[in-house]
Amino acid sequence: AQTVTQSQPEMSVQEAETVTLSCTYDTSENNYYLFWYKQPPSRQMILVIRQEAYKQQNATENRFSVNFQKAAKSFSLKISDSQLGDTAMYFCAFTRNSGYALNFGKGTSLLVTP
Amino acid sequence: DAGVIQSPRHEVTEMGQEVTLRCKPISGHNSLFWYRQTMMRGLELLIYFNNNVPIDDSGMPEDRFSAKMPNASFSTLKIQPSEPRDSAVYFCASSLKDLSSYNEQFFGPGTRLTVL
């Protein structure tokens, strides 16, 4: 079974600063996918970024980037130039492939302050 | 496309009543997932279907929960009888299963269920 652990229940960052959210996972699979989802107060689940395990290059989407360490089974999310709209719950998730369910971590509540 | 559609958006019911949650996946998607979100347990999979066939229902709490997918465009999650501990947000998600490439799971807006 795959497990996903987010050790930071809550974090706070000032607007325009950079923040890093941590995630570790456990799996015996060699090929898999990792994700960060954002859930604002509207509770809509929004995909922020995706990383394929077979790719060594870290994924980047505008202000969002990841640090993927496959051997350490670590997958952190860096948000640069934080904006007030980044305030949300952030979930780290894992799946084997398309058509398989997502395993989620417990989430990190991020508050961006003015 | 309208995205994944869930109904109702909110449901308040009394303990012992039957509750039915509905989901319409994105057209063309062949995988459908039901997740439940609570403060205590976070986001957890209840059941998922590929091509209308249940693949993994190990997350279904007990016999009070049942899910069906009679066709590619509709699924239901039923709780009978409902209990206060079933209060949660229930998400439906769909994707296109294709082992040659990853296809994103798209989530519906969720149904907030409150059982009094």
Of B33, B48, B99, nearest to A97 by CB-CB distance is B99
Residue A93: what pLDDT?
96
* pLDDT value of residue B44: 95
Provide the Cα torsion B68, B71, B72, B76; round to 10°. Answer: -30
Token digits for A53? 């395990």
What is the pLDDT averaged over residues A23-51? 94
CB A90 within 8 A of CB A37: yes
Q: Count of A–B CB contacts within 8 Å?
A: 55
Distance from the A44 Cα atom to the nearest Cα atom in chain B, whole angstroms:
5
The 10 Å CB-count burial string (b at 16+, else e) for B68-94 is ebeebbebebebeebeeebbbbbbbbb
The pLDDT of B39-66, averaged and rounded, is 93
- A32/A53 Cα distance (integer angstroms): 5
Check whether B100 has a pLDDT greater than 80. no
In angstroms, the separation between the Cα of residue A98 and the nearest Cα of chain B is 5
Q: What is the pLDDT of residue B1?
A: 64
d(CA B35, CA A72): 28
Is residue B47 predicted with pLDDT exceeding 80?
Answer: yes
- The answer on pLDDT for A2 being more than 80 is no
What's the gap in Å between the CA of B103 and the closest CA on chain A? Answer: 6
B52 touches chain A (CB under 8 A): no
Is the CB of B105 inside 8 Å of chain A's CB atoms? yes
The pLDDT assigned to A98 comes to 75
Asked if A76 and A18 touch (Cβ cutoff 8 Å), the reply is no
* B71-86 confidence digits (pLDDT tens): 999 999 999 999 999 9
Mean pLDDT score of chain A: 94
Cα–Cα dist A58/A70, whole Å? 11
Which amino acid, residue B45? L
**Is a pLDDT exceeding 80 seen at residue A60?**
yes
Strand partners for B112:
B10, B89
Q: Is B48 on the interface with A (CB under 8 A)?
A: yes
